[in-house]
């Protein structure tokens, strides 16, 4: 965050992924209840492999075993660091 003239500006970094990148996806359903999860359960699933990149910011992903997952918006993805 940067502060200028008394206003706070938030810098947002948009990630873009290429075909073949390893990524993590947020667990679905996105709206989760506290009763079904403990606070130590990971919010991310994966790793997945990017199979196709769409122009609207969506990605088609597959598991490493080749199981296809529905297209998902890029804001629900993050880079996988091994």
Q: Which helix (H) or strand (E) is 79 found in, with range? A: strand 77-79
| pLDDT in the model for residue 18 | 94
Q: Which of 33, 22, 28 is nearest to 72 (CA)?
A: 28
Threshold 0.85, pTM exceeds: no
Q: Domains in the chain, please, with CATH?
A: 17-79 (2.30.30.140)
| Percent above pLDDT 70 for the chain | 71
Low-confidence residues of the chain, pLDDT below 50? none
Distance CA 31, CA 19 (A): 28
Q: Which residues make Cβ contacts (< 8 Å) with residue 4, sequence separation at least 6?
A: none
Tens of pLDDT, residues 13-25 = 667 899 999 999 9
């Amino acid at each position: 965050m940067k502060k200028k003239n008394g206003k706070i500006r938030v810098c947002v970094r948009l990630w873009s992924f290429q075909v073949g990148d390893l990524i993590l996806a947020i667990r679905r359903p996105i709206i989760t209840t506290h009763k079904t999860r403990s606070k130590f359960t990971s919010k991310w699933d994966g790793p997945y492999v990017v199979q196709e990149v769409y122009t609207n910011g969506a990605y088609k992903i597959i598991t490493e075993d080749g199981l296809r997952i529905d297209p998902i918006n890029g804001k629900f993805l993050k880079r996988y660091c091994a």
